[in-house]
Chain A
Amino acid sequence: MKILICISHVPDTNAKIPFKDGQPDLNGISFVIAPYDDFALARAVELRDETKGKLTVLNVGLADTEPTIRKALAIGADDAIRVNAHPHDAFYVASQIAAIAKQENYDLILMGRESSDFNGGQVHGMVAEMLGLPCVVPCMKLDLNGNVAVMQREIEGGKEVVEVATPFVAGCQEPIAEWKIPNMRGIMSAKTKPLKVVEPVAVENYTHITKYEMPPQRSSVKMIDKDNIGELVRLLREEAKVL
């Protein structure tokens, strides 16, 4: 089975991001594979092994994302494609992925349900629409039975089991697989696995981020004695007016 895993290169989720002149200051912040993409990658490696297939990792990004791509190769992807462009917005990224997928005819196109930088949750749906493929999000379990996938998908207040034949797109989340940590052999072999750099297709910009700000800070916490709980109830009703 021919599998494509699309990953985002995002700031470490533990990082505190400072802002300077309305822009995020990402100097000195370490970057990782976006957490949901990392779950999808882990399952993609397992499915590649099960089907004795081929797993390609794709990232839309400038040269600074290559260490993140190499990490995906160390975890188990067979080869990599980097589209040499700044990932301007979801439509831009989806257009690049769709352009490559049209040539390669992947059976499975996997990614996370959203990235942890822009949290758009749009790329999977856009890629599916551009390719005319079905799309399952958020996918928390994916098993293959020949060319039919049985998936568990989270819905409000529960889950549903869906079936769809390949090819399709899925946006994944935990607990689809355990995150995989690269071992020494993986890290060594990742250095020599093929990483192809391709130039982007031309895409119109539909959106533009004009400003970043810190979210409004909460004024300092008001502490209430545990033996005076009635006071909390009063404050919630009269001061916060939320009851």
Chain B
Amino acid sequence: MSNVLIYVEAENGAAKKSSLEAVSYGAAVAEMLGGKAVAVAAADLSADHAGELAKFGADKVLHFGGTVNQSSEIAELVAAAAQQENAAVVVTAKSINADLAVPMIGVKLKASVATNVTALPDLSNGFVVTRAAYTGKAITQVSLHSNVKVLSIKKNASGTKEYNKTLAVESFNANISASKITVKEVKKQTGEILLPEADIVVSAGRGLKGPENWGMIEELAKTLGAATACSKPVSDMDWRPHHEHVGQTGIKVSPNLYFAIGISGAIQHLAGVNSSKVIVVVNKDPEAPFFKSADYGIVGDAFEVVPKLNEALKAAL
């Protein structure tokens, strides 16, 4: 029992970038264990896009003909696939639905579960994973004892890697019980880069003075192909929607590049962003605590700096 099963989520027919990272992560773990990396996806992944999974490391793709919209359905699909494939390790990328499926899968498979995993496991002494705790204030090493391990990985835990394996797609059947939860309405912004998936995040705070001033933040995000985010006070005042709130009680992000504009850098905000690879802080207060946690800083008024930065980036990119 040394195979790895990876759950793949798709958006508009194609695997999400975070899921491709999970596939590469799973392929690396399978290599360490001497097993196969098997991906499982539901009908939201179109057959045309299954090839990308082989590119990023899947030896085989189990394609389920139905849809799984609820976490309980994902859990049943993944547990059934894991049992069929004798999987020792199950991997998912973080997402709202997968995050809730993970503990359910753990109970179904009597597995050890670790969420928010930030690196490949260490197999030199058992099976030890690295994960963030105390909302980013600590990194812990967790030893997983059960025969089966379920891991949810953070963005940038290992990145994607090209394996270019030969694609093998098998159709997969599982009995999925209907969820007792009825979805009545979905309000989702379309055509925007989703915050948890984004490589670059442009985030702004109270320094912007009001919701009417977010145009320049959206412009900058557009230039960078970035998602927009905000601090807690901004979402509390309804300047921006709650799903953009990054921090201790909001979304935790780990993009390659995080721009913090007009955000002072309270410890609760840092908790949501401190695993970003590179942090740029723009603040007119040179004493803003955020500068201590930044890689690059500019002291200046957002209203002056942001448009200039946007022009400079437009010219350079």
Could you tell me which A residues sit within 8 Å of B by CB distance?
11, 13-14, 16-17, 19, 24, 35-36, 39, 90-91, 94, 116-126, 128-130, 134-138, 140, 150, 153-165, 168, 171, 173-175, 205-216, 218-219, 221-226, 229-230, 232-233, 235-237, 240, 242-243
Contact = CB atoms under 8 A, between A and B. Distances in A.
Given A135-B72, A165-B180, A243-B257, A159 B187 contact: yes
Given A36-B249, A125-B101, A212-B139, A236 B184 contact: no
Contacts of A119: 115-116, 132-135
Contact of A121 (B72, B75, B115, B143): B115
Contact of B142 (A154, A161, A210, A224): A210
B170 interface: no
Contacts of A16: 137, 267
B292 interface: yes
B144 to A, nearest CB: 6
Interface stretch (B21-29, B39-47, B83-91, B272-280): B272-280
Which applies to chain A's interface (DSSP): helix, strand, loop or mixed? mixed
Contact of B185 (A35, A160, A210): A160
Interface of B: 71-72, 75, 95-97, 99-104, 106-108, 111-116, 128, 132-146, 179-190, 192, 194-197, 200, 224, 241-243, 248-249, 256-257, 267-268, 271, 274-275, 277-281, 291-300, 304-305, 308-309, 312-313, 316-317
A206 B146 contact: yes
A232 B309 contact: yes
Contacts of A209: 140-143
Contact of B189 (A94, A158, A215): A158
A155 B274 CA distance: 23
Contact of A233 (B96, B132, B145, B313): B313
B71 A135 contact: yes
Given A206-B144, A209-B140, A211-B140, A218 B279 contact: yes
B106 to A, nearest CB: 7
Nearest to B282: A226
